[in-house]
Structure 1
Amino acid sequence: MLEKQRHQLILDILDEREFASVRHLTEELNSSEATIRRDLLKMSEQQQIEKIRGGARSLRQNGSVHRPHISGSAFLVSREKQSDAKRLIAQRAVEHCDDGESIIINGGSSTYMMGEFLANRELSILTNSFVLAQELIENSSNQVTLPGGEVYRRQGIILSAYEQDAIQHYSASKMFMSTSGIVEMGVTESDPLLITAEQKLLRQAEKLIILADSSKLDKRSKFILCPLEQVDLLITDSNADPAVIKKLEKRGVNVEVVELS
């Protein structure tokens, strides 16, 4: 991750919580403690933040407007984790698309990687990922639709708090979805606003295809998006625990495994 990107993420994190420890920032940004300390020193010298013992504090004044935020990993950080597996999973997912189809793709690091393989396709795509939308607009001739709503920069997505919006008029054959975790109870997510938005998208699709690298299997997040019975296909990688895959298959989930070299 570039220094400029880390600095913006640090500002976004401090906008959410006003104070963040060095330890928290190293975990959130997947960076070393030495790198974070250098970042905080530089940002403090530039008067972007207040550097204090053990971390940093926001310089945001009382009465200033908070930017909207939700729980969940930063997109730029998530994109770097398990990237080889995510790319292969995304490639397999696009193999399930037929030219002329209308599909939905939710925001996430795995689904973002579908953009590379959609470059030469001809589909109608509704996505709440503005980073994926930009990729598709610049590098493909797919028809791209974005829902209205607030921009959540750290996660790279657009979410609407309103029930009545453009999503209700869209009809898709498939929805491709990243997730923060999938367990026997169902597909999980980290924030209730994400749950609301993704359930709205899911209602407009005939089939649900989950893209989840092996680190997401048997990993529980805070909220249940949907039960396993709603999942038509799970695509994961060969590092997945066979016992976990077997448990999911016993619950009726079709699983495809891409082989890592």
Structure 2
Amino acid sequence: MQEYLQPLKEILLLARSSILSTDLRREKLREHVQASGFAALGELASMLGVSESTIRRDLETLEEAGQARRTHGGVYWTGQSDTIGVFQSRHDDGWPRKQAIGTLAETFIDDGDTILLDGGSTVYELARRIIHRPLQVVTNSLPVAHLLSTSDSIDLIMIGGCVRGRTSVTIGPMADAMLADINVSKTFLSVAGVTERGFFNSDMMLVESEKAMIAAADQTIVLADHTKFGKVSLSQICRLQDVDRVVTDDGLDSQWKPWLESSGVELSLAIATHPSSTTTNSSSIPSSQADSAP
């Protein structure tokens, strides 16, 4: 009996060794990409002594974990920073919705655009998706700035001011003065609440900066998952009609369509029905078609 069990034990030991080596390789890959910000596919394959096809599979795992974004010939680090605290949204139930909204929001950006990104967690998901794009980006968010500073294709402008520790954004008179001298094609905002009266946030000083962000832009696009609708917060940012587009997820109640439509706001719905899904519709959905969106 023992002679039959021995080959099986050897197979199990070999399988366990293979798993351990895969885990170790992926950890080394993760550490290298995090340290360098960007790594080429061939560089990783050579460093780890495996084929590029194996590296691609490893990178798929890293990307699924929200720690990297693959691009042609390599990968960018988009995970948490060792030096700047970023959002914990990837660990809550709302993360798939924010991922889907960020993916859809990217489709409204053209190469060469000058855009402004605020410090919200949903806007951070958008930032993760534009790291390889040729853009000029203005932001008051330290995590967004740190993330995009690894990109060779992005011209990054950081808004100065007082840093709000809890959210790692710059606010205050200095930030508002700088925003008053800036012009961008599109501003992307996160909000804490949306009602028929407009958009709200809980930080009064941040709201003043967000008002300046809206004034600086040709178009204002709000990114907010459906749980923000029907909620009011401490300070009003603007009215519904002051925003050009709202990008949300397909969990939005249809009662909000007439409110947005009557205010001239375009509504775009990201498909985030399943917890693991980040698939979105590939184009904007005008508010007149929102009820028929999948």
TM-score range, shorter chain: 0.5 to 0.7
1:170-189 deviation digits (Å, cap 9, x = unpaired): 21011000000111100111
Matches within 5 A, 1:151-166: 151-162=163-174, 165-166=177-178
The residue number in structure 2 matching 1:110 is 122
The residue number in structure 1 matching 2:205 is 193
CA distance in 2 between partners of 1:127 and 1:80 (Å): 24
Residue 194 of structure 2 is aligned to residue 182 of structure 1: yes
The residue number in structure 1 matching 2:137 is 125
Q: Is the 8 A contact 1:214 1:239 kept in 2?
A: yes
Check 1:163–1:124 CA distance in 2 against 1; reply closer, same or farther (3 A cut).
Answer: closer
Q: Is the 8 A contact 1:118 1:140 kept in 2?
A: no
Gaps of 5+ in 2: 1-84, 275-294
Q: How many residues align?
A: 188
CA distance in 2 between partners of 1:173 and 1:80 (Å): 32
Structure of greater Rg: 2
Matches within 5 A, 1:44-63: none
The secondary structure found in structure 2 opposite 1:120 is: coil
1:27-67 deviation digits (Å, cap 9, x = unpaired): xxxxxxxxxxxxxxxxxxxxxxxxxxxxxxxxxxxxxxxxx
Letter in 2 for 1:95: T
Q: Is the 8 A contact 2:160 2:175 kept in 1?
A: no
Select 2:230's aligned residue among 214, 218, 224.
Answer: 218
The secondary structure found in structure 2 opposite 1:143 is: strand
Displacement of 1:80 in angstroms is 4.0
The residue number in structure 1 matching 2:185 is 173
Residue 147 of structure 2 is aligned to residue 147 of structure 1: no
CA distance in 2 between partners of 1:93 and 1:243 (Å): 22
TM-score (ref. length: structure 2):
0.60
Q: Is the 8 A contact 1:177 1:209 kept in 2?
A: yes
CA distance in 2 between partners of 1:220 and 1:195 (Å): 13
Residue 258 of structure 2 is aligned to residue 246 of structure 1: yes
Displacement of 1:259 in angstroms is 1.1
TM-score (ref. length: structure 1):
0.67
Check 1:228–1:79 CA distance in 2 against 1; reply closer, same or farther (3 A cut).
Answer: farther
1:176-220 deviation digits (Å, cap 9, x = unpaired): 000001111001111210111111121111111000001111211
Select 1:76's aligned residue among 87, 92, 96.
Answer: 87
Check 1:140–1:238 CA distance in 2 against 1; reply closer, same or farther (3 A cut).
Answer: farther
Identity over the aligned pairs, expressed in percent? 29
Matches within 5 A, 1:5-44: none
Q: Is the 8 A contact 2:197 2:239 kept in 1?
A: yes
Letter in 1 for 2:125: M
Check 1:164–1:89 CA distance in 2 against 1; reply closer, same or farther (3 A cut).
Answer: closer
Displacement of 1:250 in angstroms is 3.0
1:140-181 deviation digits (Å, cap 9, x = unpaired): 521111111111121121113247633222210110000001
Letter in 1 for 2:109: C
CA distance in 2 between partners of 1:175 and 1:182 (Å): 17
The residue number in structure 2 matching 1:28 is none
Check 1:201–1:236 CA distance in 2 against 1; reply closer, same or farther (3 A cut).
Answer: same
Aligned Cα RMSD in Å?
Answer: 1.9
1:200-255 deviation digits (Å, cap 9, x = unpaired): 12111111100000111121111111011111000000111111233322332211
Residue 249 of structure 2 is aligned to residue 237 of structure 1: yes
The secondary structure found in structure 1 opposite 2:149 is: helix
Residue 149 of structure 2 is aligned to residue 137 of structure 1: yes
Gaps of 5+ in 1: 1-73
The secondary structure found in structure 2 opposite 1:165 is: helix
Displacement of 1:79 in angstroms is 5.5
1:84-103 deviation digits (Å, cap 9, x = unpaired): 11111111111111111111
Check 1:197–1:164 CA distance in 2 against 1; reply closer, same or farther (3 A cut).
Answer: closer
Letter in 2 for 1:134: H
Check 1:194–1:169 CA distance in 2 against 1; reply closer, same or farther (3 A cut).
Answer: same
